[in-house]
Amino acid sequence: MTDTPDAPAETASEPETADVLVVGSGIAGCAAALQAAREGSDVLLLTKATKPDDASTDWAQGGISTTRGDPESLKEDILDASDGTADPDAVDTLVENADDAVEDVLLDTLEIEFDETEGGEFDYTREAAHSEYRILHVDAATGTHILRPFLNHVDDHENIDVRQDTAALELLTHEGRVHGVLTDEETTGHPIYAGATILATGGIGALYTRSTNPDDATGDGIAMAALAGADVADLEYVQFHPTAYAGDDPFLLSEALRGEGAVLRNGDVSESEDSEARETESPGGERFMDDYHPQGDLAPRDVVARAVETEREETGEVVLDVSTLEGEFAEEYPAIAEKCRDRGVEGDEIPVAPCEHFLCGGIDVDENGRTSLDRLYAVGECARTGVHGANRLASTSLLEGLVWGLRAGGDAVESGADPEIVEAPELRNSDPELPERFAAEKSIRLKRTMDEYLGLERDPDEIARASAVLRRLKGEVDAYIRTRTARDLYELRNASVVALLIARAASENTESTGCHYVVSEGESAAEQPADD
């Protein structure tokens, strides 16, 4: 009787690897993936988005700044808007690479059809705190017109694999080096190993009740990097846009509107006894921005946002009057006009209020997007390049994402690291699922804390209260996440980590600078000296 040969043993599947791994599908992530692929690397781009409007880039309205051949002028405007806090070297990197990046990617590669004049030249516009007309735009929906063709181009590239509806949960680290990420593709986590990992996960809008960002902007990249030990900086500088629709379901009213002549008015309606004067006065209230800043309605965002909030408190409302635009509002800005109609806003006066818009700080990076952890890069809103300092100049976010995305993608390839397989943690998913509304209800608590204590104005005692509430909240989330693997729980974990980091940074900075405005208890911004 002959022995039957043993059946071949089952072999474990090979670990998944990529030369360059990009997490995030906005303009910064797409730019990083494109540049790495151009230089011959196999690129895997992960995104938890399932459609373009889940990315912050798709929500960007105003446009993308260029230098129009005068980088020094743009640099001066960026530094001025930042209240003198932007890093001059980082600003040099931005302005010196701006026009080449726009021409290479947006004009030559993607062939974006930016608005033109009747003469066939680019219709450059101007926004608040810009001294020149230098901003390229498509209507007031520039982000949409850039991102969608960019995603299509990246998706069609032979060296890039795009994986949607996939969330990164943890960074894979070993001895100060990042080796990839753990995703939610399996209930206990799916590791993906990479020679270089580039975080391009966007901002933190989901930490506030009112935001111009997508609902899934939960600060994932910042939290993962910070938990892995990466340096973060300037997290107290949360920028609020001054002109978002004041009602339910807020949306952005682009700064381009004020750049082209729209004005802000408060609720103080003139009661002139002169009938002829009454006929010529606006049915809205008085213009007020000249009382706050020499640039009036075109002052830096932080100044305008605080002024709008003060006037809303003192006079009942603030409206953006579009009757003073050079062109017809509905014809020049059809996308914004449609959103107004959808919300029942008729006429030329649109009620506005400040709304969380952009995080100026984030994961600390150098001129090539390198973080303090080896083989980890960060680009876009999750990164702190130093360009924005304490307050961002309008229409520089898309530009920063494009420039740093290209630089990080190229540097990741040049570093030439091969993927290394390290031990990946196995997540536990043993306990029953939590109630459907669990994460949502905890998120509401977090948002209310951020709204109340870490908004436009911050009081040191209230920052301390916020820290205490957020620590308790994070402790609760950590207790549940130890035995459950669910995307909404990890997003809540990430949001609570970033919220705590913002509170800590705010408590350590006792002076008002840019977006970070410190007032003593019972004092408002209106009672403090106006910016020069």
Q: Does residue 11 have a pLDDT over 50?
A: no
Give pLDDT, residue 5: 44
Give pLDDT, residue 433: 79
Q: Does residue 273 have a pLDDT over 90?
A: no
Low-confidence winner among 1-15, 18-32, 212-226 (lowest mean pLDDT): 1-15
Q: Does residue 511 have a pLDDT over 50?
A: yes
Query: Using one digit for the tens of pLDDT, what is the confidence trace for 434-475?
Result: 877 888 899 999 999 999 999 999 999 999 999 999 999 999
Give pLDDT, residue 59: 54
The structure tokens 């260029």 sit at 66
Q: pLDDT tier at 14 (50, 70, 90 boundaries)?
A: confident
Mean per-residue pLDDT for 196-221? Answer: 95
Mean per-residue pLDDT for 25-51? Answer: 95
Output Rg (C-alpha) for the chain, integer angstroms: 24
Q: What mean pLDDT is reported for the chain? A: 90
Give pLDDT, residue 208: 97
Q: Does residue 527 have a pLDDT over 60?
A: no
Q: Would you tell me how many other CB atoms lie within 10 Å of the CB of residue 413?
A: 21
> What's CA 316's distance to the chain center, in Å?
30
Q: Does residue 277 have a pLDDT over 80?
A: no
Q: Does residue 27 have a pLDDT over 60?
A: yes
371 vs 1: which has the higher pLDDT: 371
Q: Does residue 375 have a pLDDT over 80?
A: yes
Q: Give the Cα separation of 263 and 167 in Å (integer).
A: 42
Mean per-residue pLDDT for 134-140? Answer: 89
Share of the chain above pLDDT 70, in %: 90
- The domains located in the chain, with CATH, are 17-237+360-415 (3.50.50.60), 246-270+282-354 (3.90.700.10), 437-518 (1.20.58.100)
Q: Which of 258, 301, 306, 384 is catalytic?
A: 301
Q: Give the Cα separation of 252 and 61 in Å (integer).
A: 8
Written as six digits, the tokens of 245 are 């629709």
* Cα angle: 179, vertex 214, 202; to 5 degrees: 30
Is-contact 407 423, C-beta < 8 A? Answer: no
pTM of the full structure: 0.92
Mean per-residue pLDDT for 518-528? Answer: 59
Give pLDDT, residue 256: 86
Sign of torsion, CA 361 362 363 365? negative
Asked if 177 is an active-site residue, the reply is: no
DSSP one-letter string for 417-484: PPP---PPPPPP--SPPPPTTHHHHHHHHHHHHHHHHSSSSB-HHHHHHHHHHHHHHHHHHHHHHTT-
Q: Give the Cα separation of 217 and 373 in Å (integer).
A: 23
Q: pLDDT tier at 143 (50, 70, 90 boundaries)?
A: confident
